[in-house]
Structure 1
Amino acid sequence: MILPDIAELVTLRGAAHGLSLHAHRPALARLQGGHRSAQRGRGLEFEEVRLYAPGDDARNIDWRVTARRGQLHTKLFREERERPVWLVVDLHPGLFFGSRHQLKSALLLRSAALLAWVATLGGDRLGAIIANDEGLPVIFPPRAREAGVLPVLQALIDAQPREPGETNKNGLKDTLNSLQPLLQPGSLVLILSDFSDVDEQVEITLSGMSFHNDCRLLWLVDPIESAGLPAGNYRVGTPGRLWWLDGELSRSVWQKKWAAREQRLNEISQRLNLPLTRLHTQNQVADSLPPLLREPTWST
């Protein structure tokens, strides 16, 4: 399978035109159902007062101006116009796997690149924090325009795994803990991960982060993870730890373990009111992500 290079990630800029991360009801929540993650941050700098529009936060209504002019008016804050958008990239050797079209690591890079371009073209400041097996996560503070995108894309290329390896059991936890003190209220946090190491501590951290920020979970999955291996004998594992596995005999246990993992992540998503979207290795990123990033038309 072909690994993404910087030229491919830059080319995704074209696919980002016409897409938005500013939907009043987060579009990424559609695949998970009706629950949503409202952006709770109110911003730090007052910008202006304008007429209230459907979808505006009722907490920002300016009642003095409303009473004086006889029409609802709402306050706008600078954070709402140029908010920090953080990419949380849980990149580890365990993602060097894929049974359809692309590796999970490649899917992560392509998805992160497209989201980065969407954020930047929408006027947001892009920041990123990339898990690193060699030490502390690599951090890119939020920056505007291409100056905020290109260094992130290059870091993703440099960090992508090039051979199978063990999953970093603390990678997501360490990355979220490193990000938490850097967040400004009202930030958008996009977490790209296979969520293989979600535990109680990760849930606690997500709960704290989502209180004043819009957090969204993007789950990298491959069809074989939920279906199990086809009939036959397969050599599985990581270099130095390989064994033979009977696909038919192992399928029941395999599917039960996956169902438990799926249930746990769904419960966390619903409990914390975090939109959860699956990104599948069999789908091209330029085809699967754009429908989730367009303003939906909601019936009342």
Structure 2
Amino acid sequence: METSELLKKVRQIEIKTRGLSNNIFAGQYHSAFKGRGMAFSEVREYQFGDDTRDIDWKVTARYVRPYVKVFEEERELTVMLLIDVSGSKDFGTVSQMKRDVTTEIAATLAFSAIQNNDKIGVIFFSDKIEKFIPPQKGRRHILYIIRELIDFRPDDRQTDINQALKYLTNAIKKRCTAFLLSDFIDHGNYHDALTIANRKHDIVAIQVYDRRETELPAVGLMKVRDAETGQERWIDSSSKRVREAYRTWWDKRQAEMNAAFQKSRIDAVSIRTEDDYVKALLALFDKRN
């Protein structure tokens, strides 16, 4: 993409997604995603009803009367975006490709993060780690991320979510909130990696998919190509049996994915390319409150 065209696209996405994060997500994001925990603030004299486990015994001994530690919630978060950039993201049949919708969602989350004074970083992945952007703050950093979201082209085209989750666990030492944005078309098993990553971090899964992926149109003989492997084959979509077999495959894959989220205790939302992702994200935020 030419530099002038890229900058124009960056500006368009900034205007749209920053407006969404300012006007819609400000309060919901703040309350839905908590800080790392409770940080020590000060000590004060013990009052009736205080938890005895909070007594500061050193200060109590010094003043010969009980004092307790007072804690405050740590608000600042580190937010990571795990972005699937595999070949299957270059697909869309209604209004936008999956890659475009993912870019807008990621940018909206990024602006929501910096509005809350959080750090934001990105891991681009295919079947390997394509690029790691360490978490930072500030508008310039966000614009760099948006630029990469629009213009980044991966070396590989297949998907390995397992690899991305392992990298997150190793690269980010302190607890973070990680949004995993993918269509979850992955022939490997990422279920155990989800559970392990969610023990250390707060993982949120966002599936972006296209309506045409859920069912075949009855248009007769058609050539289909796997965007990740490059394999091609002819199928007869006029056959009801073929269409039903495809739909069964899709439903089974979705059920397995949702079961993995449930087992790992991960909050998740599925968004079609034609859907209003604002409503979907707000519903996700509300579920966490």
Tell me if 1:8 matches 2:12: yes
Tell me if 1:63 matches 2:57: no
2:207 counterpart letter in structure 1: W
Residues of 1 paired with 2:52 and 2:70: CA distance? Answer: 4
Partner secondary structure for residue 276 of structure 1 = strand
1:13-28 superposed matches below 5 A:
13-18=18-23, 19=25, 20-24=28-32
For each residue in 1:141-169, what CA deviation from the matched residue of structure 2 results, as whole angstroms up to 9, or x when unmatched? 111121331111111112258xxx98513
Partner secondary structure for residue 134 of structure 2 = strand
Residues of 2 paired with 1:224 and 1:173: CA distance? Answer: 26
Structure 2 residue aligned with 1:169:
159
Shift of 1:266: 1.0
Shift of 1:296: 7.0
TM-score, structure 2 as length reference: 0.76
Residues of 1 paired with 2:156 and 2:123: CA distance? Answer: 21
Instruction: Indicate conservation of the 8 Å contact 1:40/1:186, yes or no.
Output: no
For each residue in 1:131-150, what CA deviation from the matched residue of structure 2 results, as whole angstroms up to 9, or x when unmatched? 257x6421111111213311
Residues of 2 paired with 1:61 and 1:83: CA distance? Answer: 29
Shift of 1:183: 2.0
Partner secondary structure for residue 101 of structure 2 = helix
For each residue in 1:276-298, what CA deviation from the matched residue of structure 2 results, as whole angstroms up to 9, or x when unmatched? 1011101244x435533665797
Paired residues, number: 260
Residues of 2 paired with 1:247 and 1:76: CA distance? Answer: 60
1:144 counterpart letter in structure 2: K
Residues of 2 paired with 1:198 and 1:9: CA distance? Answer: 32
TM-score, structure 1 as length reference: 0.74
Shift of 1:74: 6.0
Tell me if 1:42 matches 2:41: no
Structure 2 residue aligned with 1:192:
181
Shift of 1:180: 1.5
Residues of 2 paired with 1:166 and 1:104: CA distance? Answer: 17
For each residue in 1:15-43, what CA deviation from the matched residue of structure 2 results, as whole angstroms up to 9, or x when unmatched? 1114143335x6xxxxxxxxxxxx79537
Partner secondary structure for residue 29 of structure 2 = coil
Which consecutive residues of structure 1, in runs of 5 or more, have no partner in the other structure? 27-38, 51-59
With 137-146 and 235-244 compared, the bigger mean Cα shift is at 235-244
Structure 2 residue aligned with 1:76:
72
Instruction: Indicate conservation of the 8 Å contact 2:122/2:132, yes or no.
Output: yes
Residues of 1 paired with 2:175 and 2:19: CA distance? Answer: 27
Structure 2 residue aligned with 1:91:
85
Instruction: Indicate conservation of the 8 Å contact 2:166/2:197, yes or no.
Output: no
Instruction: Indicate conservation of the 8 Å contact 2:96/2:274, yes or no.
Output: yes
Cα distance, 1:147–1:48 mapped onto 2, change above 3 Å: farther
For each residue in 1:209-228, what CA deviation from the matched residue of structure 2 results, as whole angstroms up to 9, or x when unmatched? 111321100011111222x1
Residues of 1 paired with 2:268 and 2:288: CA distance? Answer: 20
Larger radius of gyration: 2
Partner secondary structure for residue 92 of structure 2 = coil
- Within the candidate set 235, 238, 243, 2:223 is matched to 235
Tell me if 1:152 matches 2:148: no
Shift of 1:84: 0.3
Cα distance, 1:166–1:138 mapped onto 2, change above 3 Å: closer
Residues of 2 paired with 1:73 and 1:230: CA distance? Answer: 65
With 248-257 and 234-243 compared, the bigger mean Cα shift is at 234-243
Cα distance, 1:166–1:148 mapped onto 2, change above 3 Å: closer
For each residue in 1:25-64, what CA deviation from the matched residue of structure 2 results, as whole angstroms up to 9, or x when unmatched? x6xxxxxxxxxxxx79537xx35269xxxxxxxxx99733
1:121 counterpart letter in structure 2: Q
Structure 1 residue aligned with 2:205:
217
Residues of 1 paired with 2:126 and 2:252: CA distance? Answer: 27
Richer in helix (by share): 2
Residues of 2 paired with 1:146 and 1:62: CA distance? Answer: 42
Residues of 2 paired with 1:198 and 1:276: CA distance? Answer: 20
Instruction: Indicate conservation of the 8 Å contact 1:86/1:188, yes or no.
Output: yes
Residues of 2 paired with 1:74 and 1:195: CA distance? Answer: 44
Residues of 2 paired with 1:101 and 1:181: CA distance? Answer: 38
Structure 2 residue aligned with 1:54:
none
Shift of 1:187: 0.8
Instruction: Indicate conservation of the 8 Å contact 2:78/2:119, yes or no.
Output: yes
